[in-house]
């Protein structure tokens, strides 16, 4: 038990002693990146430092750089959220005090655009809605094909000409706007729906 605690303490002290070296190296890389936007010399800077400090690895430095960027990004997002709330409060006060100001919806659009900047990506649930709408379209296509198939079959005394099913299938796909080339409705499934 005593050996484990002393080993932990030793590792913590080593990590604490190495931290300023890694931090200064990250500062050098950041400064070089700020001076030249197309800077690709991080490996050369790190390799020079590895000669001085054999315990140093690229992953240590890159990990610290990534953690630092994430921290700066979170701080920036917090600043943007704070600024957005201040702007929305100010605009709310402005709209409530002055009736002849901006149109009602313009301030809301401005607030929404700043909020959209923060979140990024697709709106929540839009992928599920898209998948569900695609599934619904495919079911509608099957129903439509079955109806047209039955009508054409009744018109031809219970038989279809060669290629008629393909024409029905393609016309329904085009009509509903289904562009998925892999989605093909089998004739057997349509025949089973009609029976």
Evaluate whether 107 touches 91 at the Cβ level (below 8 Å): yes
Does 72 have pLDDT greater than 70?
yes
pLDDT (0 to 100) of residue 106: 52
Q: Are 131 and 180 part of one and the same domain?
A: yes
The pLDDT tens digits of the residues spanning 163-191 come to 889 999 999 999 988 888 888 889 898 88
User: Three-state SS for 18?
Assistant: helix
- Domain span at residue 168 reads 126-194
Q: How many CB atoms lie within 10 A of CB 146?
A: 19
The segment with the largest mean pLDDT, out of 40-44, 54-58, 124-128, is: 54-58
- Domain boundary (87, 118, 149) is at 118
- Domain boundary (95, 118, 141) is at 118
How far apart, in whole angstroms, are the C-alpha atoms of residue 164 and residue 128?
35
Residue 95 burial class via C-beta count within 10 angstroms: exposed 0-12, middle 13-18, buried 19 and up? middle
Domain count, the chain: 2
How far apart, in whole angstroms, are the C-alpha atoms of residue 115 and residue 140?
37
């Amino acid at each position: 038990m005593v050996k484990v605690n002393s080993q932990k303490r030793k590792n913590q002290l080593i990590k604490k002693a190495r931290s300023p070296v890694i931090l200064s190296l990250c500062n050098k890389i950041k400064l070089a990146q700020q001076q030249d936007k197309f800077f690709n010399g991080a490996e050369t800077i790190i390799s020079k430092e590895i000669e001085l400090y054999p315990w140093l690895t690229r992953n240590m430095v890159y990990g610290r750089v990534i953690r630092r960027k994430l921290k700066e990004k979170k701080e920036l997002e917090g600043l943007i959220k704070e600024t957005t709330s201040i702007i929305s409060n100010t605009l709310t006060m402005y709209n409530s005090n002055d009736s002849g100001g901006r149109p009602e919806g313009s301030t809301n659009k401005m607030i929404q655009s700043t909020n959209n900047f923060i979140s990024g990506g697709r709106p929540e649930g839009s992928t599920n809605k898209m998948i569900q709408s695609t599934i619904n379209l495919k079911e509608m296509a099957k129903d439509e094909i079955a109806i047209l198939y039955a009508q054409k079959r009744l018109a031809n005394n219970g038989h279809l000409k060669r290629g008629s099913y393909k024409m029905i299938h393609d016309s329904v796909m085009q009509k509903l706007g289904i562009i998925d080339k892999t989605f093909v409705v089998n004739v057997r499934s349509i025949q089973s729906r009609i029976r």
